[in-house]
Structure formats: structure tokens, C-alpha cells
Amino acid sequence: MLIGFAVSLVIGIPLGLVLARVRWLDETLGSLVLGLQTLPSICWLPLALLWFGLNDGAIIFVVVIGALLAITVSVRDGVKNVPPVYLRAARTMGASPLAIYTEVLLPASLPSMITGAKLGWSFAWRSLMAGELLFVSVGLGHQMMMGRELADMSQVIAVMIVIVGLGLITDYLIFGSLEQRVRERWGLNA
Amino acid sequence: MAEPRLSLRGVSKRFYGRSGEVLALEDVRLDVRQGEFLILVGPSGCGKSTILNIVAGLERADAGEVLENGKPVSGPGRDRSVVFQDGALFPWLTAQKNVEFGLKQMGVGRRERAERARSYLRLVHLSRFADSYLHELSGGMRQRVALARALALEPQVLLMDEPFGALDSQTKQGLYGVIQEIWTKTGQTIVFVTHDVREAVCLGDRVVVLSSRPGRVKAEYPITLARPRHVEGVDVARKAQQIAHALRDDLAREQQEEYDLDWQPAESGVLRSADSVMGDYI
């Protein structure tokens, strides 16, 4: 799960940055990304099973597909909303094209990037659970299926509560504090 | 005469909008001397910001060329740094880091960068706020940071695009003082764009008046008043009035274009206020 999420961040952020700035890529790949986003990532499971076999690789692939597209789309939209005057200013100060990406576009779109990561995280969870429910690997989804098979609803509901709890904890501990820091710095706290 | 620092040779520019083609600039010829404080003034839509953008290398001229020390300008560069109307500072950096940004692009080392940024913040009297983020600073302070950021690059020419346009008049007066002080101290060549004639007279060595649609150089006024000048001063006001008079025809034309066709500006005449009937009841 964590690996899958990390991989999607590593691919998704640069992809979003490039899509927002390179027009022909956006016109070709961009619509593909949007289209794929409407496809629930669990639909990739049959293919993933063929490609990777019955193991964690398949699950990681599904998680990556689930999170990657959400992250890419939010980063792309974030970068497109960066005021052009920042870019003009950076160019008059002699910033190289690379520096414009790393030192202007990236920090300028940080708020929407965090939103993207948050979205990606919840998509990753969804795909992970769906994957675990459908095909047996050891994990929370598997626990739920066990509960179902044993007609033990208390176990199913307990697992559901655990999932919600985990979601809340990550949101508060990781994204919450990150978001808070960015908002403070940008002066967005009223 | 020495070779001009900056020279515009027959610069023209047209825009293609929804309402057709607009000739924004036509055959603009202008020389800026080393150390000169040149003001471009004109009504809105006369293309004065376009001139600045072309000099900065952010836009291309359709015809003519811009020479800097005799060499044609081909793109943006740190030898021509810009202070934008709204500052265009980066909200994710502190004041200090904003000033350092350009130096970092130049490859100046960390320590020297900090040192130079601090000295420029001192120049605009903002040392105390070096570690503040932008939202903690007022509009006038932000424009001073923007000024420090542009000056820190030690540009050949400093370009200022209505930098005080969005500020209130008290803040502006303070900044007029700061900018005159810096100009006197550093001898920086400055090209400053504004629509405010008083501001132009208060700051400039030479005021170039542009006409609108197409933008052309209409007239030039050398300003030889003693410095530091005060924007409320009588000498500044008198000179500004002369220049404003020359601008009036253009303003009337602009009003014809931008307002409803049946509207006419009121003729100035005898005051019809309570004051004008003073004494009637005696």
C-alpha cells in the first residue's frame, strides 16, 4: 500500500507538471488520463493478475493506477492555475526552464498537490480494499471476507471501523499537519 | 554623447483581439541614457506596459528592435529586471528568500546570497521584516521587497511597470521618497511606466508622453526640478499640469471609445455648488 502510494506520487507529480506545461502532451495524454480516471482501478485487477501473477505485485499495480491518475489530474490543474506573472517574474530573473519547474511551479502548486495526494490516498485505499476482497491476500479486506464466510458480522463491522480509524489518523497526522503548514505560510488562515 | 544604455528603434506591435486588429505601438523611438530616470506616461491602453514588456524580453516586437548597449535584446534576462504592478513576489518564500531568488539563479553561493539580499533589504528599509512571509507584509512593504529583489540582480536597466498603481496615496508618498533616495544613491538606470502625471514629474529626469492607439512618442519633457521632490509640491504640480494639458486630447478620445456614445464629459465652467452662491443672501 505505502509502496504503491509512493510510486504514484513519484510518477504522478512530474507527470502532472509536464502535462500542464506541454500542450501537445496535454491534448493527447491528458484526455487519456481523464478517461482512465473514470475507470475504477479495480477493473485493472484481471490484467494485473495476468501480468504480475497472484501476488502483491498485482495489488500494488492496482493501487498505483488508482492513486496515480487522481494525483496527476490535481497537480495538472494546480499548475495550470499558477498566476502567469510568477513565471514572467522568474524569467526576468534569469531562471532556467528547469528552475522554473522546481522552484516556481512546484512550490506554487503545492496546495493543490496536497489535495491531490489526499485524493490519491483515499483512492489507493479503495483499490487496496477492493483488491483484497476480490482476491485472497493477507490484509484487512481478507479479514472482512473471513468474517463474511463465518457469518461473523461483528468482525466485518470491526474491520470497517478500523479502516475508518486508519483513514482519519493518516488524514490528521500526515495531510492535516502538512496542509496546516502550507496554509499558515501562504496566509490562508483567516 | 555617449552611446545610450537602451535604445528602441522603430518598435511596432499589433494585437489581434476579438474586435479585430489593434495597432498597439507604432514606430516607437526612444533612447535611455546611462543613469537616467525615464518615465513613460500615457493614458490607459496606450501600450506603455507593452513597451516595457518588449524591453524586458517578455514580448516580441513585430517590427523594429531594442538595443541594450548596442546589442539587440532577444529574450528575458537579469540585466533587465522588472518590478511588476502587483509585485509578483512568491508567497511560499520569506522576504529574504524572495530577494535571494534571482541571485540563486545566478549561481551565487548561499552565504553571499544571504549577505547581498540583506543589504538590499536594508536599502529599502525592511531589515526587520526579512523573515516575514508575504501575507504578513503590507502592500507598500511588498513593493519594497519587489524593488529589493529587482535591484539585487544589479541590472543594467531597472524596469518598473506601474509599481505603485495599487497602493494608497500615503504609502505612495513614502515610496516616492525611497525610490528617489535609491536612485540618487545608486545611479541606477530606470524606466518607469505610469499613468499618473504627477507621479511622473515627481520621479523622473525625463518624462516621455505617449499617445494612444497607436502608441507613439508624443512629446518629451525634461524635468529639472530639485530633488528630493515631493508629490504635493507646487513645482511638481505646475509642471504636471502642463503635461496633463498635452494629454487631454488623448483622454477625450479614449473616453469616446470606452464610454457610451451619447455621453460627454461635463464642460468645466462656473461652479454650481453652494459656494458659488455665497453672498447672495446678504
More confident residue, B246 or A44: A44
Q: For the residues B185-191, what does the mean pLDDT come to?
A: 87
Per-residue pLDDT at B84: 87
SS3 content of chain A, % helix, strand, coil (to 5): 85, 0, 15
ipTM of the complex: 0.75
Task: Quote the mean pLDDT of chain A.
Answer: 82
Render pLDDT for B44-56 as a digit per residue (tens, 0 to 9): 777 888 888 888 8
Residue type, B45: G
Render pLDDT for B127-137 as a digit per residue (tens, 0 to 9): 888 888 888 88
Q: Is A172 on the interface with B (CB under 8 A)?
A: no
Q: Using DSSP, how many helices (H) and how many strands (E) does chain A show?
A: 12, 0
Q: Phi and psi (nearest 5°) for B42?
A: 180, 165
**Helix (H) or strand (E) run with residue B190 in it:** strand B189-194
Q: Which of A86, A88, A187 minimises the CB distance to B58?
A: A88
Q: Phi and psi (nearest 5°) for B19?
A: -90, 20
Per-residue pLDDT at B2: 64
Is the model's pLDDT at B212 over the cut of 70?
A: yes
Task: Quote the mean pLDDT of chain B.
Answer: 81
Report how far residue B25's alpha carbon sits from residue B10's, in angstroms, rounded to the nearest whole number. Answer: 9
A88·B78 Cβ contact <8 A: no
Is the model's pLDDT at B276 over the cut of 60?
A: no
Is the model's pLDDT at B1 over the cut of 60?
A: no
Mutation test of the interface with chain B: which of A87, A93, A98, A184, choosing the one with the most B Cβ atoms within 10 A?
A93
CA closest to A103 among chain B residues: B101
Report how far residue A138's alpha carbon sits from residue A56's, in angstroms, rounded to the nearest whole number. Answer: 10
Per-residue pLDDT at B255: 64
Looking at chain A from residue 75 to 104, which residues have their Cβ under 8 Å from any Cβ of chain B? 83, 85-86, 88-96, 99, 103-104
Q: For the residues B225-250, what does the mean pLDDT come to?
A: 81
Render pLDDT for A102-150 as a digit per residue (tens, 0 to 9): 888 888 888 888 888 888 888 888 888 888 887 766 778 888 888 888 9
A92·B58 Cβ contact <8 A: yes
A94·B86 Cβ contact <8 A: no
Render pLDDT for A5-38 as a digit per residue (tens, 0 to 9): 778 778 878 787 777 777 787 778 878 888 888 8
* Confidence bin at A161 (pLDDT 50/70/90): very high
Indicate the SS3 state at residue A172: helix
Q: For the residues B114-123, what does the mean pLDDT come to?
A: 86
